Chain A
Amino acid sequence: MKRIYVNEDWCLGCHLCEYNCAFANSGEADMAAALKGKPLFPRIHIEEGDKICYAVSCRHCEDPLCVKSCIAGALQVKDGVITVDQSRCVGCLTCVLVCPYGALAPNENGVMQKCELCLQNSCGEPACVKGCPNRAIVFEERSAVL
């Protein structure tokens, strides 16, 4: 399955992936209309240390702890992609607790949201990958099992 991978050597720490992610999932056609003056709730986050930075989003694990731990059955696996059914989420944050990557975060209403590879939104392909200026984020098939 194609997944999102990050080459931290190439990451500039520009945070554009976060904005492209929030824009792609906003349903708006214009970035300024979607994001201007609003708090940002992206599904990908830049982790920054002293001399390193890289983007973190859902790994779409083959054996996902978040799905196992979800008490409401909101997190599901569809064709390898882990999705969240927001109508079922009760906001218990157990998935946040168990995810070893810190890839899940609630949206502005406290309902869980996560990277679903932009397959369902207007972008159609991962917006973080498409918008990464240094091509540090890639969407590709790799053999390693997560």
Chain B
Amino acid sequence: MNELYITPEFEVVRNENRCIACRVCERQCANEVHSFDETRGVLRSDEIRCVNCQRCVSLCPTHALKIVKNNCTLRENANWQNATIKEIYKQANTGGVLLSSMGNPKPMPVYWDKILINASQVTNPPIDPLREPMETRVFLGKKPDVLRRGADGKLLTDLEPQLSLSMPVMFSAMSYGSISYNAHASLAAAAEALGILYNTGEGGLHEDFYRYGANTIVQVASGRFGVYEDYLNAGAAIEIKMGQGAKPGIGGHLPGAKIVGDVSRTRMIPEGTDAISPAPHHDIYSIEDLRQLVYSLKEATDYKKPVIVKVAAVHNIAAIASGQPSPAAWRAPARISLPSTAFAAAPVRRRPASAIMWASRLSWLWLRSTSGCGTRASATTCLWSSAAPSVRRRTL
């Protein structure tokens, strides 16, 4: 079946009375939806490519454009809804699998949202932020188990390396190459201005961004792209990526077409080669192996940088992270002298597949759909649509 059989998800509505044919929509659309008909002097739209990023809408100087949901519908019943049928068509056509950014697109129950936590009288007295100063500074790092005093009776305050954040917010890891130079520049500049940390992701650190080192977490992932001594020492901390929230248990694949110029140099791989991150680290199959990598990184950085292990917040994650007996395949990042463990957000929220797989009883895997910045990244569009997975972190 031809892919064009699937009706476009959105409709581009152009008010011809307002359109002055300035072609800004055509020039700025990363997906080449708009085109100019030279002979008739009018703009046309190929809506099948529209991902509703609203860039043309916001740039149109006469407000001649709007993007609306296409209400063309298939014959539905309670079991087979419009969206389900179309998603199956798409997957059957392409052999690919669909991924959705920004959490689960299906309204799966999120139990966390129904929990009320009110600890106002069991910890410190509550603060009224309108009248009292409120401290949001957070330190991440290994804390001493006991108070220690020197010979003179004074408190010993030498700590393992700590990270200081002006507020408990960090940018999650998105590699250079999967997102653009400009997007990385924005993240780095914002992290510096806010006094927080951004994360290089697994694609190495572009030479221009070494100056943001104090606000950078450098990542070491299974592909080890761009990892060398200066890189490890450039950031405020090192993060070993075991798993990611966007697709727990799955690695990464940046197509060779994107490995050009600076991306190739930063990743330290030849131009045009696919950048494949295996799902596991092929040198880590036990907790001892992970420990070895942690200490290798500590050696490389003279024990001055905190080392973080990032794992996807899957079922049993508490036991896995703290190393308690559990049926999980490997365990215990927290017990190998780690300052902190990063958790990528829970897969229940992230796996867009769960609802439809359930409905259709098909066990497809899910890959990236046509939306999001990863597929047609241009320097400017990445800033507008981000497929950033959110990451929750906790110090252990």
A binding-site residues for B, Cβ under 8 Å = 12-16, 18-20, 23, 31-32, 35-37, 131, 133-134
- Chain B residue contacts of A134, Cβ below 8 A: 380
Shortest CB distance B15–A (Å) = 9
How far apart are the CA atoms of A20 and B59 in the complex, in Å?
12
Residues of A within 8 A of B59 (CB): 14, 16, 133
B17 at the interface (CB under 8 A from A): yes
Asked whether, in the complex, the Cβ of A36 is within 8 Å of the Cβ of B61, the reply is: no
Q: Across the interface, which residues of B come within 8 angstroms of A12, CB to CB?
A: 27-28, 380
Contacts of B17 in A (CB 8 A): 32
Q: Assess whether B18 is interfacial by the CB under 8 Å rule.
A: yes
- Check if A15 sits within 8 Å of B24, measured CB to CB: yes
When distances are taken between beta carbons in the complex, the residues of chain A under 8 Å from B19 are 32, 36
Q: Given A31-B20, A36-B20, are A20 and B28 neighbors across the interface (CB < 8 Å)? A: no
Give the interface SS of chain B, mostly helix, strand, loop or mixed.
loop
Tell me the nearest residue of chain A to B60, going by C-beta: A16
Show 14 A/B contacts (Cβ-Cβ < 8 Å), sorted by A.
A12-B27, A12-B28, A13-B27, A15-B22, A16-B22, A18-B22, A19-B24, A20-B61, A23-B61, A31-B20, A35-B22, A36-B19, A133-B58, A133-B59
Q: Hey, which chain A residues are within 8 Å of B64, CB to CB?
A: 32
Contact A35:B24 (CB < 8 A) given known A19-B61, A131-B61, A133-B59 = no
Interface residues of B in 178-231 (CB under 8 A from A): none
Check A19 against B22 for contact (C-beta < 8 Å).
yes
Quote the shortest CB–CB distance from A41 to chain B (angstroms).
14
With both beta carbons as reference points, the residue of chain A lying nearest to B379 in the complex is identified as A12
- Knowing A19-B61, A131-B61, A133-B59, say if A14 contacts B20 (CB, 8 Å): no
Residues of A within 8 A of B21 (CB): 36-37
- In the assembled complex, which residues on chain A have CB atoms less than 8 Å from the CB atom of B58? 133
Select A19's contact among B18, B20, B28, B380, beta carbons within 8 Å: B20
B41 interface contact, C-beta 8 A: yes
Q: Complex Cα distance A20/B380, Å?
A: 21
Who on chain A is nearest to B59 by CB? A133
Q: Judge whether A32 and B18 touch: CB under 8 Å.
A: yes
- Does the CB pair A35–B27 fall under 8 Å? no
Using known A-B contacts A14-B28, A19-B61, determine if residue A35 contacts B380 with beta carbons closer than 8 Å: no
Chain B 17-57 per-residue mask, 1 if CB under 8 angstroms from chain A, else 0: 11111111001100000000000010000000000000000
Residues of A close to B286: CB separation below 8 A: none
Whether the Cβ atoms of B62 and A32 lie closer than 8 Å is yes
Q: How distant is the Cα of A94 from the Cα of B21 in the complex, in angstroms?
A: 32
Q: In the docked arrangement, what's the CA distance between A12 and B381, Å?
A: 11
Query: Across the interface, which residues of A come within 8 angstroms of B380, CB to CB?
Result: 12, 134
- Contact status of A31 and B28, CB under 8 A, knowing A12-B380, A19-B22, A37-B41: no
